[in-house]
């Protein structure tokens, strides 16, 4: 079988994805990855086939997070201003990814003035939750839970005001990074002690989260007449340099990372003259502006990148676009609008380049698009808000709404090593496997399920070739 050229091409794709820090097996933070770019190494469902559905009642849809075979989600039954649910009304649940069964729950401790429980992120078998937020006006401790049992491992002495619309990222050693409009801080994964805390300035409290690529942390900050993109050093927290000013009054979005040092920021506020997606290259010493494009993005929107070097955005007509990350050239555009009266974009992209888009509407819509943005299918979700789409390491698609709405969509099983479920094991499957190379517990490419994608999995794939 003529493998060498195919293997060489796939290794090239792997190198590109590793530069971006993009492909991930699990959806462990808001935006899916540390780069907040929605690109995962699994292959999502071709059809909206329901594997299971149902969850405890909730009056607002928060984002499901996934690690291995566990799904984590906050369900909130209290929605009276100023949104300070008392004990018993804002619960973290852990579900079995295979069946939807509830494995455990955690009622986050409450002090008068605390906000609703926030599921910050999952990392290396630990779940980070707290009651900070409400536009950074409420500060509360961080609780670190054992992902398998829900038991408290530690409670931080430091209180954070990071909320559900900010999101967090994790350093390589597991340390969580929390940001508000006034401060960004790093806590120790083992103890919850403070590692460093630095001042920053975001134009609106809430929606001020970071993105990470390697040892670089990216945040938006205010500047005279607009915003700037800032790079912080992950080890020290020091601000290294800033981009040129992006004109406008305010913006409520998060940077996200692409390949080859690309960093994007949707600087939007509902003003067509200044609402642009900015594409920068981080050269290591400065930000180089490469291109801009008119962009529609409601507060708290999360965007995406594609495995072939594209960036997913919404234009001012409400249509999805894919543009080349480095040139801005328009590659594809959806035939119709995807936005809703209340628009909060959420994007997930699988290893095949299939795009899952949620508009955050009330009600909302989850749409599935081919890599060329032709529509495959769409479903309505009651009051979608931040409820998805979310892709798990096994390819399951998770979507949460209000009421008892939590649905897991999953394709029927495929033949061994057919990672994209197209009926044949070939170069496309090899590309998926190589893009997931390394530690990948629960990943579809982990064919022998030993927690790592390596030569043993490659051997299985080649044994099923053709």
pLDDT for residue 339: 83
pLDDT tens profile 380-426: 998 899 999 999 998 999 999 999 999 999 987 666 678 777 778 88
pLDDT band at 160 (very low <50, low <70, confident <90, very high): very high
Taking CA 310 as the corner, what is the angle to CA 351 and CA 368, rounded to the nearest 5 degrees? 55
| Residue 23 and residue 10 in contact, taking contact as beta carbons nearer than 8 Å | no
Q: How many Cβ atoms are within 10 Å of 378's Cβ, its own excluded?
A: 13
The tens digit of pLDDT for each residue in 17-38 reads: 333 444 567 999 999 999 999 9
Strands, sheet with 310-314, edge to edge from the N-terminal-most edge strand: 304-305, 310-314, 320-324, 330-333
Distance CA 454, CA 105 (A): 35
What's residue 445's pLDDT? Answer: 80
Average pLDDT, the chain: 88
Task: Give domain limits for the chain.
Answer: 427-463
Question: What pLDDT shows up at residue 195?
Answer: 97
Predicted pLDDT at 288: 98
Instruction: Determine the pLDDT at residue 282.
Output: 97
Torsion of CA 76, 44, 298, 180, to 10 degrees: 60
Specify the pLDDT at position 18. Answer: 38
453 band by pLDDT with thresholds 50, 70 and 90? confident
* pLDDT at position 413: 63
pLDDT at 301 over 80: yes
pLDDT at 223 over 50: yes
pLDDT in tens, 350-364: 998 999 999 998 889
Q: How confident is the model at residue 344 (pLDDT cuts 50, 70, 90)?
A: confident
Contacts of 292 (CB under 8 A, 6+ apart): 276, 277, 278, 279, 328
**pLDDT tops 50 at residue 57:** yes
For residue 362, the model assigns a pLDDT of: 86
Cα diameter, the chain: 67
For 94, counting Cβ atoms within 10 Å of its Cβ (0-12 exposed, 13-18 middle, 19+ buried), the class is buried
Q: What is the pLDDT of residue 342?
A: 63
What pLDDT, on the 0 to 100 scale, is given for residue 304?
94
Which one has a higher pLDDT value, 446 or 178? 178
- In the predicted model, what is the mean pLDDT of residues 421-433? 83
At residue 23, the pLDDT reads 56
CA distance 416 to 203: 50
- Looking at residue 12, its pLDDT comes to 36
Q: Report the distance separating Cα 297 and Cα 149, nearest Å.
A: 38
Mean pLDDT value across residues 333-348: 86
Helices (H), ranges, 301-405: none
Separation of alpha carbons 96 and 30, rounded Å: 20
Indicate the helix (H) or strand (E) that contains 458: helix 455-463
**What's the pLDDT at 80?**
63
CB 404 within 8 A of CB 55: yes
Q: Judge whether residue 3 has pLDDT over 60.
A: no
Is the pLDDT at 81 greater than 70? The verdict is: no
- The DSSP secondary-structure symbol of 272 reads T
Predicted pLDDT of residue 329: 97
How does residue 207 score in pLDDT terms, banded at 50, 70 and 90? confident
The predicted pLDDT at position 466 comes to: 79
Q: Distance between CA 313 and CA 325 in Å, rounded?
A: 11
- Specify the DSSP class assigned to residue 411: P
240 Cβ contact list (under 8 Å, min separation 6): 231, 232, 233
pLDDT confidence band for 85 (50 / 70 / 90) = low
Q: Give the strands of the sheet with 152-160, arranged side by side.
A: 118-123, 126-130, 140-146, 152-160
Across 68-77, average pLDDT = 94
Asked if pLDDT for residue 1 goes beyond 50, the answer is no
Q: Say what the pTM is.
A: 0.86
The predicted pLDDT at position 83 comes to 57
Out of 117-131, 338-352, 374-388, which region has the weakest mean confidence (pLDDT)?
A: 338-352
- Residue 427, pLDDT above cutoff 80: yes
- pLDDT for 230-285, tens place per residue? 999 999 999 999 999 999 988 889 999 999 999 999 999 889 999 999 999 999 99
- End-to-end Cα separation, the chain, in angstroms: 10
- pLDDT at position 82, please? 53
């Amino acid at each position: 079988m003529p493998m060498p050229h195919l293997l060489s091409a796939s290794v090239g794709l792997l190198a590109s994805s590793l530069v971006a820090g993009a492909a991930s097996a699990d959806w462990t933070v808001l935006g899916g990855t540390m780069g907040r770019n929605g690109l995962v190494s699994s292959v999502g469902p071709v059809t909206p086939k329901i594997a299971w559905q149902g969850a405890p009642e909730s009056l607002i849809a928060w984002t499901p997070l996934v690690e291995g075979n566990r799904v984590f989600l906050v369900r909130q039954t209290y929605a009276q201003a100023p949104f300070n649910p008392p004990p018993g009304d804002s619960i973290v649940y852990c579900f079995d990814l295979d069946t939807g069964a509830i494995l455990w729950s955690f009622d986050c401790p409450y002090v008068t003035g605390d906000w609703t429980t926030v599921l910050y992120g999952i990392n290396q078998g630990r779940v980070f939750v707290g009651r900070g937020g409400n536009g950074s006006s409420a500060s509360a401790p961080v609780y670190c839970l054992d992902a398998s049992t829900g038991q408290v491992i530690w409670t931080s002495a430091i209180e954070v005001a990071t909320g559900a619309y900010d999101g967090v990222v994790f350093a390589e050693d597991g340390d969580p990074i929390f940001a508000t409009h006034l401060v960004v801080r790093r806590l120790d994964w083992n103890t919850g002690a403070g590692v460093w805390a630095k001042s920053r300035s975001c134009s609106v409290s809430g929606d001020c989260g970071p993105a990470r690529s390697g040892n670089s942390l990216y945040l938006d900050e205010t500047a005279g007449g607009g915003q700037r993109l800032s790079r912080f050093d992950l080890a020290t927290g020091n601000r290294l340099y800033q981009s040129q000013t992006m004109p406008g009054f305010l913006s409520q979005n998060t940077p996200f990372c692409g390949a080859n040092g690309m960093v994007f920021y949707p600087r939007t506020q509902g003003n067509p003259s200044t609402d642009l997606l900015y594409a920068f290259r981080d050269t290591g010493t400065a930000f180089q502006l490469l291109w801009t494009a008119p962009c529609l993005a409601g507060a708290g929107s999360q965007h995406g990148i594609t495995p072939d070097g594209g960036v997913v955005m919404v234009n001012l007509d409400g249509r999805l676009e894919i543009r080349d990350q480095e040139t801005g050239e328009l590659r594809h555009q959806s035939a119709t609008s995807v936005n809703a009266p209340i628009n909060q974009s959420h994007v997930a992209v699988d290893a095949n380049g299939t795009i899952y888009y949620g508009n955050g509407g009330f009600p909302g819509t989850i749409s599935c698009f081919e890599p060329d943005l032709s529509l495959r299918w769409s479903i309505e979700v009651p009051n979608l808000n931040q409820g998805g789409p979310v892709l798990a390491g096994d390819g399951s698609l998770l979507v949460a709404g209000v009421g008892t709405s939590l649905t897991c969509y999953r394709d029927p099983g495929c033949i061994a090593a057919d990672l994209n479920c197209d009926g044949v094991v070939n170069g496309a499957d090899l590309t998926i496997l190589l893009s997931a190379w390394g530690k990948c517990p629960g990943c579809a490419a982990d064919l022998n399920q030993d927690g790592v994608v390596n030569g043993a999995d490659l051997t299985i794939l080649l044994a099923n070739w053709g």
